Amino acid sequence: MYNNTFGNIFRLTSFGESHGKAIGGVIDGFPAGIAIDMDFIQQELVRRRPGQSSITTARKEADEVEFLSGIYEGVSTGCPIGFVVWNTNQHSNDYDNMKDVFRPSHADFTYTQKYGIRDHRGGGRSSARETITRVVGGALAKLALKQLGIRITAFTSQVGTFKLDKDYTAYDLSTIENNPVRCPDQELAQQMADYIYKTKGEGDTIGGVISCVIQGCPIGLGQPVYGKLHAALGNAMLSINAVKGFEYGQGFGHMEMKGSQQNDIFYRDGDKIGFRTNRSGGIQGGISNGQDIYFRVAFKPVATVLMEQPTVDIHGNETILKARGRHDPCVLPRAVPIVEAMAAMTILDYYLLNKTTHL
C-alpha cells in the first residue's frame, strides 16, 4: 500500500490501523521556529475523538498525542516531527461476525479484491481513525497559519433534510462549539441532534454537508494549470472517509444565472482593488484572490448500519449481515475538525510552494 503521504513541501505521512497498537505520523517540511501550543493540539484531538456526546460512537479513547521528534523547548526545529497516538479501547471481537462477509458500501470488497487480504477489525486502514494523524498535522499547520493571520473555520451546515438557509456571513461562526453538532444556528442544531439521535436509535445512519471558510488567505496561492488551489482543496477533502462531493464558491448553485450576473465585479477601494461580490469563492484561475475562500463538503451516511442487510460472503454466497460494534450514526460533528485540518495543511503547503515563485 502506497500513497500514504499528503502534501508537497509540507508533507504528512501516516501509519496505523483502527485496531492496531497505534496511529501515528511523520511531518516533513514544517517551518522551524514555530511555537508549539500542546494544549491547542490536544484540544483539536478532543474535538475529533469518539465518545464526546450521545450522537457519536461510544468508543472511548483519550487520543493523547505523544511527540517523538522535531520539537525542542516548545518550538519546532525544522526536523521531521514524529508523533504517535496509542489505541487503548479496541473491541476487536465486535467484528468477528464480519470477518468473512462484505459490508455493503464499505471498503471490505475493494480492499479484498485489491490486496487479497484485509484487516476486518474496525476497517483496518480504511477506518476513519486514521484521521487522527490529519488532525495533528492540521493543528500544527493552524499554529503556523496563525502567524500569517489566516483563520479556518468549518461547521455543519446540513444533516439530512435539516440545513442552513443563509450564507455563512449571516451566522456567528464563533458559536459552533456551543452544541454537539457544531452548527452556528443553535435552534437548527438541536433539530439536527434530535434527528441524529433518532436515527441512531433505529440502528441507521445519516449524512449531510460541512461548510468551511478560510479567512485572511493572501493573494497568489495556487498554480494556474495542474496545481489549482481549489483542485488541491478538493483532493484534500475527497481523501476524507465518507466524502462524496466537493464544491467551492457558488458551486452547483445558481447555474441558471448568466455570466454577467455571476461575475465578481472589480472596483477601486482606496489604494487597493476590491470586489463587489465573492461568487468565485476566493479563487480565480486556480489562484487565491485575497477574499474569503469558502467551500462545501458532502458526507454520505456511514456505511456500517446496526440492522440486518443482505450481502455476500468472501465465497460469493448470499447471506444476511447484522453488524455489531460502536459506530457513528452521523460523522459530521466529528468531521468538522478533520475538514479544518485538511484545509489548514493544504493552505500551509501552498503558501510554502508560493515562496518558490520568485527568487
Instruction: Residue 215: name the closest of 73, 308, 114, 347 by CA.
Output: 347
Is 69 marked within a binding site?
A: no
| 127 assigned to a ligand binding site | yes
144 labeled binding residue: no
Query: Three cell numbers at 234?
Result: 478538493
Task: Tell me how far apart the alpha carbons of residues 297 and 238 are, in angstroms, rounded to a whole number.
Answer: 8
Q: Is 304 annotated as a binding residue?
A: yes
Q: Which of 209, 211, 215, 234 is nearest to 346 (CA)?
A: 234
Angle at 132 between CA 128 and CA 138, to 5 degrees: 120
Q: Please, what is the Cα angle at 331 between 350 and 42, to 5 degrees?
A: 60
User: Is 263 known as a binding-site position?
Assistant: no
Q: How far apart are CA 211 and CA 155, in angstroms?
A: 6
Question: Is 89 within any annotated ligand binding site?
Answer: no
Residue 125 assigned ligand-binding role: yes
Q: Would you say 54 is a known binding-site residue?
A: no
Q: Looking at this protein, which amino acid is placed at residue 217?
A: C
- Ligand-binding annotation for 16, yes or no, is no
Residue 199 burial (CB count, 10 A): 19
**Size (the chain), residues:** 359
Rg (CA), the chain: 21
The reply to whether 289 sits in an annotated binding site is no
288 is in an annotated binding site: no
Residue 242 annotated as binding site: yes
H runs (alpha helix) in the chain? 38-48, 108-115, 131-146, 186-201, 229-238, 259-262, 332-354
Confirm whether residue 174 is marked as ligand binding.
Answer: no
> Per the annotation, where are the binding residues for NADP(+)?
48
> Per the annotation, where are the binding residues?
48, 125-127, 241-242, 285, 300-304, 326
> Per the annotation, where are the binding residues for FMN?
125-127, 241-242, 285, 300-304, 326
